[in-house]
Structures are given as structure tokens and as C-alpha cells.
Structure 1
């Protein structure tokens, strides 16, 4: 899918300050959860039963959605999607990826 979280800057008195990078999780209902510190995927999954996590960087048309292993640490600067387990064996269509991109855009701009 290739949705990248680019570094964001603000200007304060002519000096550019970098905002701290966060791991961003887009929930099923489109809400955004930002994590300031890396945590294991299992911490998110334990609060969202019946779901799995996937990285926006590893989603491609006509391929299965790759799971983030429960023991993997979520990386700052990455965007992750919570997906229902029922989608775990389906391939992603162009329509699916566009829908996820729209959901991410809406969550990131609010």
C-alpha cells in the first residue's frame, strides 16, 4: 500500500522543530491510536480480540494481508491497521487498498 508516515515539522521563531514520531494504529471504526513508545503487537491485540495487525508498508494488490507477529515490536513512524480475523485469508483488491487509504487519510487528518 505504501502509506508512509513522513516526518512532520513545525516552525517556531524561524526554527524547524521535528515532532516526535509515533506508531499509528487505525482501528476498525477508523479511529486513530498513536503510540509514543514502541510496544509489542500483543498489547494492542489483547485489547482487540478477533483482530490482527498489519503494516501499511506490506500490503499489496492481489496478495494476502501479512500478520504482524504478536511478539513483534511496533515501529515508530509506521502506520498499522487492525483487521478482522475473517479477512486474514482473503487477498487484497485495488478497491480494498483504496478503502484503507481513505480510512487512513480520514484518521490522520482529524
Structure 2
């Protein structure tokens, strides 16, 4: 019984740590589906756009159905704990449709899943487990 209580406490503490870490990170999803996570440092829209010519940064929280996605100005700072999309400028000139929002949601889900899988793979390697097998030296 004591082990069960200890395990539950560890799960709660782990969830709190994850929630506080998520509040510190800015996630930016690019048109090619990759996601960059920025911790600690301040980040402007201009910096997030490096290497993405002809694109704009949009906050996922500000996107609405049947409305044009509001874009951030180059000097605007991204907020911690927020998700952003880098969209082609042409996509910001027309109202978002339901299929547009669904496509962005699927892209964000896939990017976050890949990020989690990479993190888990890194932990397993650090702990001596690779592809489900523990290495013994």
C-alpha cells in the first residue's frame, strides 16, 4: 500500500513538473511539419522566421474559423507556453476554413508526437535502453 501511495505522489509531481516546463517553452511549427521548441530565451517573430521567406508567424490561440489568421509583426515577442504556426503569407490573406484548422491541428499533433518520441528515445539511450533492449557493459 505504501508503494502505491508513493507511486501516485511521484506521478502527481511529474505532471506538475511537465506543466511548469510546458509553460516555459515556445513551440513553433513550420510549413514542412517540423516543430522547434525555444526555452528560456526571448524570441521575436523575425527570429522565428529565419529561413522561412514569404511566411508569417501566427499564434494558434488567435486563429478563428472564417477569419484571417492574425500575424505577428517582426518585432513582436513570442509568449512562453504558446503554440505558433509559420504560415505562407498567402494563407494569411484569406479566412481560415474548417479543413484549414483541421490540417493545422493534425500537423501540430504529429509534430508534438515526434517530439515526445525523440525525447523518450533520448532518455532510453541515456538509461542504456535502445529499441526496447537494455545494454549491459
2:19 is aligned with 1:16? no
Higher relative helix content: 2
TM superposition outliers: structure 1 runs of 4+ over 6 Å:
none
Write the deviation string for residues 33-85 of structure 1: whole angstroms up to 9, x where unpaired.
00002211111123311100000000011000100111111111100000001
Higher RCO, Cα 8 Å, sep 6+: 1
Write the deviation string for residues 75-97 of structure 1: whole angstroms up to 9, x where unpaired.
11100000001112111001100
Q: More displaced, 50-59 or 34-43?
A: 34-43
Q: Distance in 2 between matches of 1:48 and 1:29?
A: 10
- How many residues end up aligned between the 2 structures? 99
Contiguous gaps of at least 5 residues in structure 2: 1-6, 115-137
* SS of 1:88 mapped into structure 2: helix
CA-atom RMSD, angstroms? 1.7
Q: Distance in 2 between matches of 1:84 and 1:23?
A: 20
Higher relative strand content: 1
Contiguous gaps of at least 5 residues in structure 1: 1-10
